Homo-oligomer: A and B are copies of this chain.
């Protein structure tokens, strides 16, 4: 497929997924007329109308491989995105990374307050599971239970939360490359891997058949993070919509500090090629997954 076609395939899917996710959040997070209103406002503020929606996009692309109903992969995508947004809200808290800007606007604890931010994160965390387990998500309870189990693993101490803990320790430790790799596999890799694998779970593909997807997800997860580290050094804060150069200032080990800018760039490209190679058994139906792999290292924010 020509590069132009692949780019328009990607931007079309991205627009569709972004609009679908906003619509779902809008209907699933309705503000009640009682003293909890502020909590729901904070959730909507954080969740609606922002971000690249990479995880729901991956879910749709992986679901497409197996002809999963797109309304279903979108719904599961909303659950993953809610989980991602909760993690951003908590990571931005003053006691964590202390960030004032996210997706080009004040972070939740700045726009509301710290307590509301903690509870908005906690609420989105619970809602992700509520949406996944709802019979409206999938008729087969085995699929629903497996999605919940895998999402819980990806989000918990053996996944995202554990990675964030390592990230906090990174500021005062001398992490080597394997440790930084492990950190990122937990912090961002686990949820990206879930997003890809969920497409196969929805189609009831047995674990055996998911191996190429796992390889793909592992590679783009790392490539994504290396690109993030490069952006932290070279990026434009206005485009990124968040504070950059923070790792440098904190003296934190990253892929860039450990490998140098050139080798990091090369490694990211290599991982993308490797990710695409994992999809060798698929044809045209994997075009979106391939386009996403290229996108994760080429995006400018």
Contact = CB atoms under 8 A, between A and B. Distances in A.
A170 B35 CA distance: 9
Interface residues of A, number: 56
Give the interface SS of chain A, mostly helix, strand, loop or mixed: helix
A68 interface: no
Contact of A35 (B95, B148, B169): B169
B35 A123 contact: no
Interface stretch (A160-168, A200-208, A239-247, A280-288): A160-168
A156 B129 CA distance: 10
Contact of A38 (B127, B161, B169, B182): B169
A208 B155 CA distance: 35
Contacts of A116: 165, 168
A34 interface: yes
Given A35-B169, A96-B118, A152 B123 contact: no
A34 B176 CA distance: 13
Copy total for this chain: 2
A130 B145 contact: no
Interface of A: 34-36, 38-40, 43, 90, 93, 95-96, 113-116, 118-119, 121-123, 125-127, 129-130, 132-134, 140-142, 144-146, 148-149, 151-153, 155-157, 159, 161-162, 164-166, 168-170, 173, 175, 179, 182-183
Given A95-B114, A115-B168, A133-B149, 15 more contacts: A36-B157, A36-B162, A40-B157, A90-B118, A96-B115, A119-B164, A121-B122, A123-B161, A126-B155, A127-B156, A129-B152, A130-B153, A133-B152, A141-B145, A145-B145
